[in-house]
Amino acid sequence: MKTPRIEARNVLITGCSSGIGAVAARILRDRGWQVIPTVRKPEDLDRLRQDGFDPV
C-alpha cells in the first residue's frame, strides 16, 4: 500500500509563543509551509509578528 502524498502546504499550530509549537512553526515556515500560528496570550502576538507570522 502506497502512502498518499500530501499536496496542501497549510498547517495550523497552537501554542506558538514558546516551546515546541514555536520551533515547529519556524521550521515548517522555513520549509515553505503556510503556517497559521495561534497563541493564548494577546501579548505574545507582537513577537510572532516580528518573526514574520500573521497570528490568529
Do residues 5 and 29 make contact, with C-beta atoms less than 8 angstroms apart?
no
Do residues 47 and 17 make contact, with C-beta atoms less than 8 angstroms apart?
yes
Please tell me the predicted confidence (pLDDT) of residue 23.
94
pLDDT in tens, 7-54: 779 999 999 989 999 999 999 999 999 999 999 998 888 888 898 888
The pTM of the full predicted model, rounded to 2 decimals, is 0.76
Q: How far apart are the first and last CA of the chain?
A: 38
